[in-house]
Structure 1
Amino acid sequence: MRRVSVDIGGTFTDCSLVWDDRYVEAKSLTTHQNLALGFNASLKIAYEQLGLTLEEVMREVDSVRYATTLGTNALIERRGPRVGLLVTAGFEAMVPLSRGRGYGEGLPDRQRRDLPMAQRPEPLVPVQMIVGVRERVAETGEILMPVDAEDVRAQVRKLVDNGVQAFVVSLVNAVVQPEHELLVEEIIREEFPEQLLGSAPIVLSHQVGGRKGEYARTSSAILDAFLHNAMYHGLSTLELNLRDNGYRKPMLVIHNSGGMAQLNSTDALQTIHSGPVAGINASEHLAVEADLGNVVCTDMGGTSFDIGLVVKGGVKFYDFNPVIGRWLVNIPMVHLVTLGAGGGSIARFDRLRRAVAVGPESAGSDPGPACYNRGGRYPTVTDADLALGYLLADRYADGSIPLNERRATRALEKEVGEPMDTDALGAAKLIRQKIDNDMANGIAQELRVRGYEPRHFTILAYGGNGPLHACGIANVLGVSRVMVPPFSSIFSAIGAGNMDQLHFHERSLYLSLYDSNTRKIFEDFDSFNALVEELEQKGRDDLMRQGVAPAAIKHRLELDMRYGNQLAQTAVVVSKNRLETADDLMEVLAAFSKDYGRRYGEGSQAPEAGIRINTIRVATYSSMSTLKFADILPKEADLAPAPAATHHKECHFVGHDGAMKTAFHDLADLSFGSVVEAPAVVISPSTTYLVEPGWRLKIGRHGAALFERAE
């Protein structure tokens, strides 16, 4: 296996280079003005460690894979074209009304409940850019009113006069009968061919989302159109960069569905949060191979802190109606919670509460934390960690970013210390305590809302800052075991290298498997199987277009099921992709009952209300070779005390008065099975392991390690 995988984050660009049985990790600062520069810098660090040249790598790797926050950043910064929306006449207010809930979606619970202060997000499509066209399709797909072509032309001209740069077409019931959306697209291209209007994208809602729900489907299409230019130009630049360097294979892009595809088979919306999702994918793989049981994935980078869950058996949680930014969409996406808590999160004095607040604003990579000495004036979590003694100024990021402790101290004193009547050290402790509490509370809320207790989970701490804050988070949660995965600082990039090519296709329907009124079960297996075959064929076409052999293509059938008209809906993975007998149907009902009981409590099942399917979904994928994570942690027989540290330094810890003499170890000097006692710091080229008082650290392979409470 020879593979390059890259995760482009808000602060760092992480690169994983696998060359046969050798694994190399590298990091460089993200170059937002041209992502290719940061990629080239991190890749150069990686291949030089192996004594290779760029030409050798580009000629012989089997794939280059990208996970990126480019779309996320474009959405945050509102960098997008002027979008025009064409809807069925009479539905022009659908997006502005946003189901009457748009003021709260994407906000924390506390702000969502504050109705008097509620503010809707600034719309991506202004009201004057929404037009209605005369047409109508029934929910059965019957055409009630044909498209009025002249009316469409008039509305398109109106949008062009208003400066439209991207078109979205979202007509009622288009997922059942897409003929009218396709006809509107044809009229737009006839009226304004590319040589007149330029490369204005036309996004059809039924091609972005296959489920009913006009608002969520329309929002999905709007976001896709809004992000199209940023993603197209950004990723095209990366692909051209590969071509210039001699790489001739298609570039692969990570999707937030947990899979990947070539650039020409990727929608802009599918790239949102693709980096953190790649980390969850790697966690799923690790949980299975290392038999970790229940795992909570935590990725603390420079800008954000991402939380995901993998329960025993390697099962990820999906959101089928996720909220991206402030907008509800209906694309399948691996469940993820993101907090504005990273090494670059800016700390400040909250005058209202007379306390320290940290994030969500981040110093990013430019100018970065004050200690980076690149013009940053505000204190960050990294400045606090430096002031507390955990970071060595000349060893940070393998010495590529020399830290200025004097600038960190000045920023801490001015922005936090003086308002809180404390010195820089006291300010650093307050920042450290606040950020660890925020992250621990985010984990606890995510677990308990799903009926889990944190102490029943192993925390995976990765990202550049994960091992540095692992013990602090675990102390707040009462967790006694935290694992640092192999290649922890670039773990999301490792996940990108482990993904399969994958596409989801789905269809909304109302299908009663058990009618409680007539007490009859579903019998029309032929129509059900025909719909599944149609969705499988779409997925098959997607992968074959990307060069995947038909024999390598597999399908997984999922059904969104509910009891009667309950709002609680469960996605059930079906063992067989076809229903042929009543026994097959009963197997599906039994799987639904078991999953429902596990989620909501045994005995809560309500078959007397009827059982129905709302969505049929087919995941089409092609499995690829993966990295091996087995036997990366030491067993009891492998354990031995770590060699004596060659360097000691005074460090300060939350909850402890005064300085504590702390041992500093180099990870390269520690062998497999070494046990590091607290207090200690273990330094590697890309991350820092902090062993706080009351803990010990067991060293594994490839940078993997296990934090455990000392007896």
Structure 2
Amino acid sequence: MKRIAVDIGGTFTDCFVCWGGRFIQSKALTTHQNLALGFNEALDEACAELNVDRRTVLSEVDSVRYATTLGTNALIERSGPRVGLLITQGFDSTVPLSRGRGYADGLPYSEARDLTRARRPEPLVSIPLIRHVRERVDYKGDVVMPLDEEATRRAIRELVDAGAQAIVVALVNSTDNPAHELRVLELFLQEYPAQMLGAVPMILSHQVVGRKGEYVRATSAIIDAMLHSTMYFAMTSLEQNLRDNGYSKPMLLVHNSGGMAQLNSTDALQTVHSGPVAGIHAAETLGQQGSVGNIICGDMGGTSFDIGIVAEGGHKHYDFNPVVDRWLVSVPMVHLVTLGAGGGSIARYDTVFQALQVGPQSAGSDPGPACYDRGGLKPTVTDADLLLGYLDPANYANGRIKLNVRRTKQALEEICDTLDCDAIEAARRIKLLADASMAAGLVRELNQRGYKPDNFVFLAYGGNGPLHACGIAAQGGFDRVLAPPYSSVFSASGGAGLNQMHIHEKNTTLAFYHKLLQTVFSDFPTFNAIVEELEDRGRRDLLRQGVRAEDVEHRLELDMRYGMQRMEIALVAPKLRIESQTDVLDMIQIMNDEFARRFGADTVSPESGIWVTAVRVVSFVRSDALRFDNMLPPARKLATPAPVTTRQCHFPGHDGAMETPVYDGAALEPGVVIEGPAIVNPGATTYLVEPGWRFESAAQGAVWFIKNA
């Protein structure tokens, strides 16, 4: 297996190269002005370790896979084009009203508790850029009112004249009959052909989302339109960089659904949060192969802390109506919670609450933390880690970034004056607050899903995960933490094992058991026709990308609920077709068992009716996956190697400095046990073993942090 997987984050660009039996991890600062520069730098570092030049590597790999937060950042910064909206007459206010509760979506927990003070987000589409068209399709897909084509042409011209740089068409019930949306596109191309200089893209909502719900379908298409040009130009420049360096195959983009596809088969919305999702996929693979049990993922990078859950056996959670930034959308996305807590999170004193705050603002890669000595003036979590003695100023990020302690002290002066403490105490408080914020996020996520922390292993990865693992675990109530193999670029390594995949779904209302009629579903042709249509769409998506028809596989999933409940769950069907009522009863039993397992036996109520609300087909082509050995610490223990040096370190809850041994990569030999406090720095990342914890090495460079009894 020869391939390259890249995760372009807000601070670092992570690169993972599979070269035969070797797996190389490397990093470079993200170059936001030209993403290709950071990619080339990270790849060159990996090539130097392989002793192979960049062109040779790119000409021989089978694929290059990109995951990026570019779309996420563009949405947060509102740096996309001005978007115009065409919607069915009478529904003009659907997006501005946002179901009357748009001010609540995407708020952090602390603000969501007091919605009276919540502020609505800045609209993605301003009211002057909304136009209606006269048409109507009913819920069955029948045309009630034909499209008024002349009025539609006028509306299109008005949007273009008003400065719309992208146009979204979101007509009512277009998921049941898209004829009017398709006709609007034809009229638009007649007026403004695609070959015109400065042509405006048009996004049809039914092609972005296959579910009912005018508001979430419209917001999904609007976000896709906002990110379209940003992603197109950035990704095509990356693809051109690959061409210039000898790579001739199509570039693959990681999707937030847990799959990937070529650039020409990717909606911009599908790239949001794709980097952290690749990490959750790697955790799923590790959970299936490594005998770890229940996993909660904590990806601590330079900008954010991303949380995901993988239940025992390697089953990750999905959101089918996730919130992106402040907007509810309707695309299948691996469940993910993002906190503004990372190594670059800025510490400040909040004069309103008269308390120290850490994040969500980040120093990013440019200028970066003050200690990077690149012009940053504000203290960050990384600055605190440096001052507490955890980081080696001369050997940070494999020695490529030299850290300046004097800059850190200067950046902390204002906080020290306000809190009336020295720099060490300020740094200790910053670390404690950052760890507490991330621990609270982990526990809150588990509690909301009915889990307990002591039943889960905390999987700590990302550039800063192993550095803060013990501190987060101590405050979250976790007794065991696993820093996985390739922990500093774990999300990038997840991209190396993804399958090419597309998900298509359709809203429906099918009574598998009708309470009033007391009948079991029997209209098998209707159900199977829906599945066949979705399979065909997924197959055509993959065939368009050059895969062989015989390699395409499908998985059928159903969203189901009981008649007396609104809560739906997604279930994998054992068969792709329903051929008898026995198949229906088998599916009902699967639903009953899953409800009982997740929510308790009292929630199981098939007598109230059982409804299928959505049919989903996952079409994919299997790819070679990374292999993980048994991750448990080996029974045979090795002698602790001699430390290479010692360092004075400061820990929360302990007065004064503690003499802390520092170990190199020899400590990663499976079976090595080290009692804290200790630091292990093999070069790629730093493992901090706090007092009261011990370090145990496992296979493939994995590390356990275990709390002493």
TM-score range, shorter chain: over 0.9
Give the equivalent residue in structure 1 for 2:620.
Answer: 621
1:671 matched to 2:662? The reply is: no
Give the equivalent residue in structure 1 for 2:16.
Answer: 16
1:371 matched to 2:371? The reply is: yes
- 1:633·1:704 contact (CA, 8 Å) conserved in 2? no
SS at match of 1:399: coil
Percent pairwise identity: 56
What is the CA-CA distance between 1:115 and the residue it aligns to? 3.3
- 2:679·2:687 contact (CA, 8 Å) conserved in 1? yes
Give the equivalent residue in structure 2 for 1:644.
Answer: 642
- 1:666·1:683 contact (CA, 8 Å) conserved in 2? yes
- 1:642·1:670 contact (CA, 8 Å) conserved in 2? no
Give the equivalent residue in structure 2 for 1:275.
Answer: 275
Amino acid at match of 1:489: S
SS at match of 1:122: coil
Instruction: Give the whole-Å Cα distance in 2 for the aligned partners of 1:565 and 1:122.
Output: 37
Summarize the alignment of residues 180-199 of structure 1 with structure 2, pairs less than 5 Å apart.
Answer: 180-196=180-196, 198-199=198-199
Instruction: Give the whole-Å Cα distance in 1 for the aligned partners of 2:582 and 2:402.
Output: 67
SS at match of 1:360: strand
What is the CA-CA distance between 1:558 and the residue it aligns to? 0.6
More displaced 10-residue stretch of structure 1: 591-600 or 266-275: 591-600
Amino acid at match of 1:299: D
- 2:10·2:30 contact (CA, 8 Å) conserved in 1? yes
Instruction: Give the whole-Å Cα distance in 2 for the aligned partners of 1:4 and 1:195.
Output: 35
Give the equivalent residue in structure 1 for 2:431.
Answer: 432
More displaced 10-residue stretch of structure 1: 155-164 or 220-229: 155-164
Amino acid at match of 2:685: T
- 2:292·2:632 contact (CA, 8 Å) conserved in 1? no
What stretches of structure 2 of length at least 5 have no aligned partner? Answer: none
1:592 matched to 2:591? The reply is: yes
- 2:502·2:619 contact (CA, 8 Å) conserved in 1? yes
Instruction: Give the whole-Å Cα distance in 1 for the aligned partners of 2:16 and 2:156.
Output: 47
Give the equivalent residue in structure 1 for 2:332.
Answer: 332
SS at match of 2:306: strand
What is the CA-CA distance between 1:642 and the residue it aligns to? 1.4
SS at match of 2:602: coil
Instruction: Give the whole-Å Cα distance in 2 for the aligned partners of 1:204 and 1:197.
Output: 21
1:533-564 deviation per Cα after TM superposition (whole angstroms, max 9, x unaligned): 11001001111111111111111111111111
What is the CA-CA distance between 1:641 and the residue it aligns to? 2.8
1:401 matched to 2:395? The reply is: no
Amino acid at match of 1:583: T
What is the CA-CA distance between 1:352 and the residue it aligns to? 2.7
From the superposition, tell whether residues 182 and 515 of structure 1 become closer, same or farther in structure 2 (CA, over 3 Å).
same
Instruction: Give the whole-Å Cα distance in 1 for the aligned partners of 2:354 and 2:139.
Output: 56
SS at match of 1:194: coil
- 1:487·1:703 contact (CA, 8 Å) conserved in 2? yes
Amino acid at match of 1:675: V
Give the TM-score, by structure 1 length. 0.99
Give the equivalent residue in structure 1 for 2:170.
Answer: 170
SS at match of 1:433: helix
Summarize the alignment of residues 62-461 of structure 1 with structure 2, pairs less than 5 Å apart.
Answer: 62-196=62-196, 198-414=198-414, 416-461=415-460
1:36-87 deviation per Cα after TM superposition (whole angstroms, max 9, x unaligned): 0000000000011011011210111011000000100100111111111000
What is the CA-CA distance between 1:450 and the residue it aligns to? 0.7
What is the CA-CA distance between 1:338 and the residue it aligns to? 0.3
Instruction: Give the whole-Å Cα distance in 1 for the aligned partners of 2:215 and 2:128.
Output: 18
Instruction: Give the whole-Å Cα distance in 1 for the aligned partners of 2:667 and 2:564.
Output: 62
Instruction: Give the whole-Å Cα distance in 1 for the aligned partners of 2:378 and 2:113.
Output: 31
What is the CA-CA distance between 1:195 and the residue it aligns to? 4.3
- 1:413·1:427 contact (CA, 8 Å) conserved in 2? no
Give the equivalent residue in structure 1 for 2:679.
Answer: 681
- 2:292·2:457 contact (CA, 8 Å) conserved in 1? yes
Instruction: Give the whole-Å Cα distance in 1 for the aligned partners of 2:633 and 2:47.
Output: 29
What is the CA-CA distance between 1:668 and the residue it aligns to? 4.1
1:703 matched to 2:705? The reply is: no
Instruction: Give the whole-Å Cα distance in 1 for the aligned partners of 2:667 and 2:695.
Output: 14
What stretches of structure 1 of length at least 5 have no aligned partner? Answer: none
Amino acid at match of 1:169: V
Amino acid at match of 2:92: E
1:52 matched to 2:52? The reply is: yes
Amino acid at match of 1:15: C
What is the CA-CA distance between 1:113 and the residue it aligns to? 3.7
What is the CA-CA distance between 1:254 and the residue it aligns to? 0.1
What is the CA-CA distance between 1:669 and the residue it aligns to? 5.7
Instruction: Give the whole-Å Cα distance in 2 for the aligned partners of 1:56 and 1:341.
Output: 38
Instruction: Give the whole-Å Cα distance in 1 for the aligned partners of 2:60 and 2:226.
Output: 36
Amino acid at match of 2:244: D
More displaced 10-residue stretch of structure 1: 346-355 or 247-256: 346-355
- 2:446·2:453 contact (CA, 8 Å) conserved in 1? yes
> What is the total number of aligned residue pairs between the two structures?
709
Give the equivalent residue in structure 2 for 1:498.
Answer: 497
- 2:292·2:631 contact (CA, 8 Å) conserved in 1? no
What is the CA-CA distance between 1:604 and the residue it aligns to? 1.4
Instruction: Give the whole-Å Cα distance in 1 for the aligned partners of 2:694 and 2:112.
Output: 41
- 1:641·1:676 contact (CA, 8 Å) conserved in 2? no
Summarize the alignment of residues 562-577 of structure 1 with structure 2, pairs less than 5 Å apart.
Answer: 562-564=561-563, 566-577=565-576
RMSD across aligned C-alpha pairs, in angstroms?
Answer: 1.1
- 2:89·2:133 contact (CA, 8 Å) conserved in 1? yes
Instruction: Give the whole-Å Cα distance in 2 for the aligned partners of 1:247 and 1:21.
Output: 21
More displaced 10-residue stretch of structure 1: 648-657 or 696-705: 696-705
Instruction: Give the whole-Å Cα distance in 2 for the aligned partners of 1:386 and 1:424.
Output: 11
- 1:633·1:705 contact (CA, 8 Å) conserved in 2? no
SS at match of 2:603: coil
What is the CA-CA distance between 1:345 and the residue it aligns to? 0.2
- 1:633·1:699 contact (CA, 8 Å) conserved in 2? no
Give the equivalent residue in structure 2 for 1:659.
Answer: 657
Instruction: Give the whole-Å Cα distance in 2 for the aligned partners of 1:109 and 1:12.
Output: 28
- 2:634·2:670 contact (CA, 8 Å) conserved in 1? no
Instruction: Give the whole-Å Cα distance in 2 for the aligned partners of 1:648 and 1:159.
Output: 66
Instruction: Give the whole-Å Cα distance in 1 for the aligned partners of 2:666 and 2:77.
Output: 41
Summarize the alignment of residues 503-514 of structure 1 with structure 2, pairs less than 5 Å apart.
Answer: 503-514=502-513
More displaced 10-residue stretch of structure 1: 111-120 or 530-539: 111-120
- 2:210·2:504 contact (CA, 8 Å) conserved in 1? yes
- 2:664·2:682 contact (CA, 8 Å) conserved in 1? yes
Amino acid at match of 1:160: V
SS at match of 2:353: coil
